[in-house]
Structure 1
Amino acid sequence: MNIDISGKTTIISGSTSGIGLAIAKGLAQAGASVVVNGRSQAAVDKAIAAVKQHASTATVRGVAADLGTAEGCALLIKAEPRCDILINNLGIYGPQPFFEIDDAEWSRYFEVNVLSGVRLARAYMPAMLEQNWGRVVFISSESALNIPADMIHYGFSKTALLGLARGLAKLAAGSGVTVNSVLPGPTLSEGAAQMLMASAPEGQTLEEAGVAFVKAQRPSSIIQRAATLEEVANMVVYVASPLSSATTGAALRVEGGVVDSL
């Protein structure tokens, strides 16, 4: 199977680190022109360099904008008015007791995790439908199905993405535009690594810490370890490619079997 996305322009929100950056690298390696995004120009420049190091012949550019705001989304849309592949990766998370989450925090999670994707899909999908080809991917989470009691606001926002993606897929029915969700589970991103190593016993590697976390906190996992960034990115690259033309409206799990359902 040869994944070739040459000639397509892809925008990945929140892609200066973690899963977003891994997706940018994978898409660039598959031939796509890549637009990375982060809140600061320094972070964007660093991400551009990292993608070019991974795929030296790729066309890579970036836009510094806070897509958790309407103003930030407008800035990106003005700088990059069209794209063929939209990866809505931007998201925030963090444990917090439900009774301590105020309205402002609920609104912040909704603005960043959900409305950023709404705004970008609303801006870019019409041209995709007009040209009869496009890909929209929402990075959800296994927490969308397996709501964590200590991050209810996060789980809620990721569940919302599943409904949004399914609805948009139906809106694009009969066209060459597909809309899907990808659901990662525990993944060895920079943020997760920092959290894991902060409580890891001396001498324990990151991979070992990931295994310990999964066995303790996600015992239903079938792979019994955290996924790598590349493993998650590989799923997204396939879904973004022409090869996935019969896959739409789907919630595609790359969470190692944590969700205990058929």
Structure 2
Amino acid sequence: MIIDLSGKTAVVTGSTAGIGYAIARGLAASGASVVINGRGREKVDAAVKRLAQEVEKAKVTGVAADVSTASGCDALIAAQREADILINNAGIFEPKGFFEIPDADWSRFFEVNVMSGVRLSRAYMPGMLKRNWGRIVFISSESALNIPREMIHYGMTKTAQLAVARGLAEMTRGTAVTVNSVLPGPTLSEGVETFVKSLARQNNQSEEEAAKSFVKQHRPTSILQRFASPDEIANMVVFVASKEASATNGAAIRAEGGIVNSIA
């Protein structure tokens, strides 16, 4: 399958590193004009430069804006008025016991993980409907289905993303606009890689052994039995954002290695 996104503009939030960057790179390699987003100008500029080096003839720009706030979303929208593809990837997580999670953390997680996607979808989706083509993808998590007891506030936001995405999909009925969610499992992004290296040192293991041990212990239902790579998640997202995924709408698409022990 050849995915050609030439002539399409894609906005990817939280895309200076990790899964977001891999998605931006995959979209650029498929011909889309990509807008990289992050909170800090320095990281955004570095990611733009890196992507331009890694993808020949990449069409890439960057917008520094904190999409966890209404003003940050407004700044991104002001810099990029229209989008054919919106990837709501920006998100945070933090293991913390339920009784130690203050109200402020619940609000902060909801603003970053949910409201960023709500605000940007509200801004970009009308143009997609008017042009009768568009793709909105929420990067959720297997934690939306398997709520992790060590970070219930995070799981709540990931479930909320599924509800928002499905509701927006209902608004696209009879059009060529789609709204979907992709649910990654444990993924070896930069931050996780640092964590795995630390585990390896502590347990006198190789990094590969430490990663497999972590998955076996903390995600025992995994069929994959390892961390996914950011590129493996990005491959699914690029497909969902493509013209070829025209019959996929309102779906929660799992890319979590079989952790969710269900056939549906």
TM (normalized to structure 1)?
Answer: 0.98
Q: Which residue of 2 aligns with 1:251?
A: 252
What amino acid maps onto 2:227 in structure 1?
A: A
Q: Distance in 2 between matches of 1:243 and 1:10?
A: 16
What amino acid maps onto 1:99 in structure 2?
A: F
Q: What is the CA distance between 1:209 and its match in structure 2?
A: 2.2
Q: Distance in 2 between matches of 1:207 and 1:133?
A: 42
Q: Does 1:206 align with 2:196?
A: no
Q: Which residue of 2 aligns with 1:45?
A: 45
Q: Which residue of 2 aligns with 1:260?
A: 261
Q: Which residue of 2 aligns with 1:134?
A: 134
Q: Distance in 2 between matches of 1:168 and 1:245?
A: 16
Contact 1:88 1:138 in 2 (8 A): yes
Structure 2 counterparts to residues 167-246 of structure 1, below 5 A = 167-201=167-201, 204-246=205-247
Q: What is the CA distance between 1:206 and its match in structure 2?
A: 3.2
Structure 1's consecutive aligned runs of 4 or more residues displaced over 6 angstroms after TM superposition are: none
Q: Does 1:125 align with 2:134?
A: no
Q: What is the CA distance between 1:197 and its match in structure 2?
A: 1.7
Structure 2 counterparts to residues 100-115 of structure 1, below 5 A = 100-115=100-115
Q: Which residue of 1 aligns with 2:152?
A: 152
Q: Distance in 2 between matches of 1:30 and 1:205?
A: 35
What amino acid maps onto 1:174 in structure 2?
A: G
What amino acid maps onto 1:91 in structure 2?
A: G
Q: Distance in 1 between matches of 2:75 and 2:226?
A: 39
Q: Which residue of 1 aligns with 2:64?
A: 64
* 1:25 partner SS: helix
Q: Distance in 2 between matches of 1:136 and 1:37?
A: 16
What amino acid maps onto 1:222 in structure 2?
A: I
Q: Distance in 2 between matches of 1:238 and 1:118?
A: 22
CA-to-aligned-CA distance 1:43-91 (integer Å, 9 cap, x gap) = 0011101211221201100000100000000000000000000000000
Q: Distance in 2 between matches of 1:69 and 1:11?
A: 17
Q: Distance in 1 between matches of 2:5 and 2:56?
A: 16
Contact 1:29 1:54 in 2 (8 A): no
Q: What is the CA distance between 1:208 and its match in structure 2?
A: 2.8
Q: Distance in 2 between matches of 1:238 and 1:53?
A: 23
TM (normalized to structure 2)?
Answer: 0.97
Q: What is the CA distance between 1:239 and its match in structure 2?
A: 0.3
CA-to-aligned-CA distance 1:13-72 (integer Å, 9 cap, x gap) = 000000000000000000000000001110001110121122120110000010000000
Q: Distance in 2 between matches of 1:73 and 1:170?
A: 24
Q: Distance in 1 between matches of 2:50 and 2:246?
A: 29
CA-to-aligned-CA distance 1:158-192 (integer Å, 9 cap, x gap) = 00000000000001111100000000000000111
* 2:200 partner SS: coil
What amino acid maps onto 1:260 in structure 2?
A: N
Q: Distance in 2 between matches of 1:174 and 1:186?
A: 35
Q: Distance in 2 between matches of 1:204 and 1:189?
A: 19
Q: What is the CA distance between 1:204 and its match in structure 2?
A: 3.5
Higher deviation after alignment, 208-217 or 62-71:
208-217
Q: Distance in 2 between matches of 1:50 and 1:248?
A: 32
RMSD over aligned Cα, in angstroms?
0.9
Q: Which residue of 1 aligns with 2:25?
A: 25
Q: What is the CA distance between 1:203 and its match in structure 2?
A: 5.9
Q: Report % sequence identity.
A: 62
* 1:35 partner SS: strand
